[in-house]
């Protein structure tokens, strides 16, 4: 508990987490607002409300999480941290827990914020959250952010530089996994096992029930939707374990 308090103080005593959260909120909710405003009233569906939160805002949250550790390396406060808490694994796990929790809460705020904005701007649309699939689609955003934060922190620990970590995360999430689908024949087969594709699969609404749903199209996932989430989480945790081992061995 002590270490969680330490990381909380550290995180909230600098400005960047506030800026990143605000940016994620504006991008996530803002995109939904634009879509809602430009769609005829009554035509909006739940699947459309989370475009911003599941793509753009997710990237910002990944950056925020990576920054939480790369700035420590940049300003060498990681050394001050390891002097105060020589058990590096505990210190870094505490940071991961705090950041992932904040990312999760932020995810829920953005997801339901987006949903609320859509409902406000398009009152005639059927946006009621009834089925389990619909709940997962909206409330699942928080889980996605939390796990994404773990993955981003792992990358941050391994790379140590802000620019490098951010580039890796953004290219991976926004570009690479999508591009692999272009490869003839095997492309979509590989995609079925890529972490962010599985994250999208977790969110996906049941096919046919929602024509607005376009995410994760064309990929034949071998896992159930919750299985996809577990897989995404498994990869994030595995990467974190590698990062923790490296951090423990390497000179601070």
Partner 1 sequence: MIEAVRLRKHYGRTKAVDDLSFTVRPGRVTGFLGPNGAGKSTTMRMILGLDTPTGGDVKIDGKHYTEFKEPLRKVGALLDAKWVHPNRSARAHLKWLAVSNKIPASRVAEVLEIVGLSEVAHKNAGGFSLGMSQRLGIAGALLGDPEVLLFDEPVNGLDPEGIVWIRQFMHRLAGEGRTVFVSSHLLSEMAQTAQDLIVIGKGQLISQTTTEQFISDATKDHVRVRSPHAVKLREILAADATITEDAVDGALVVHGIPAEQIGEIAAEHQIVLHELSPQRGSLEEAFMQLTKESVEYHAH
Binding site for partner 1 (CB under 8 A): 2-3, 5-6, 9-10, 13-16, 71, 75-77, 79-87, 249, 251-252
In Å, how far from its chain's centre is CA 195? Answer: 11
List of residues 6+ apart from 108 with CB closer than 8 A: 139, 141, 142
Q: How far is the CB of 26 from partner 1 (least distance, A)?
A: 21
> 3-state SS string over 146-196?
HHHHHHHHHHHHHHCCHHHHHHHHHHHHHHHHHHHCCCCCCHHHHHCCCHH
Whichever of 185 and 249 has its CB closer to partner 1, that residue is: 249
Q: What is the distance between the alpha carbons of residues 42 and 156, in angstroms, rounded to a whole number?
A: 44
Q: How far is the CB of 203 from partner 1 (least distance, A)?
A: 35
Distances (CA, A) of 115 to 44, 52, 230: 11, 11, 25
Q: What is the distance between the alpha carbons of residues 89 and 70, in angstroms, rounded to a whole number?
A: 16
Q: How far is the CB of 80 from partner 1 (least distance, A)?
A: 5
In Å, how far from its chain's centre is CA 164? Answer: 18
Whichever of 33 and 67 has its CB closer to partner 1, that residue is: 67
């Amino acid at each position: 508990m002590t270490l969680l308090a330490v990381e909380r103080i550290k995180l909230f005593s600098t400005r960047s987490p506030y800026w990143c959260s605000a940016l994620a909120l504006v991008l996530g909710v803002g995109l939904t607002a634009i879509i809602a405003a430009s769609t005829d009233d009554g035509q909006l569906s739940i699947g459309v409300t989370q475009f911003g939160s599941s793509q753009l805002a997710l990237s910002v949250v990944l950056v925020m999480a990576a920054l939480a550790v790369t700035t420590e390396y940049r300003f060498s406060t990681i050394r001050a941290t390891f002097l105060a808490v020589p058990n590096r694994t505990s210190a870094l796990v505490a940071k991961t827990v705090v950041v992932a929790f904040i990312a999760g809460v932020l995810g829920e705020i953005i997801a339901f914020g987006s949903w609320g904005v859509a409902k406000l701007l398009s009152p005639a649309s059927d946006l009621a959250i009834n089925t389990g699939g619909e709940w997962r689609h909206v409330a699942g955003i928080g889980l996605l952010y939390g796990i994404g934060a773990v993955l981003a922190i792992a990358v941050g620990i391994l790379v140590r530089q802000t620019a490098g970590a951010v580039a890796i995360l953004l290219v991976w999430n926004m570009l690479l996994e999508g591009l692999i689908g272009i490869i003839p024949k095997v492309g979509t087969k590989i995609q079925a096992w890529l972490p962010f594709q599985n994250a999208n699969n977790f969110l996906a609404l049941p096919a046919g029930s929602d024509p607005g749903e376009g995410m994760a199209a064309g990929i034949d996932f071998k896992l159930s939707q919750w299985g996809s989430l577990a897989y995404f989480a498994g990869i994030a945790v595995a990467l974190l374990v590698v990062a923790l081992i490296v951090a423990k061995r390497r000179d601070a």
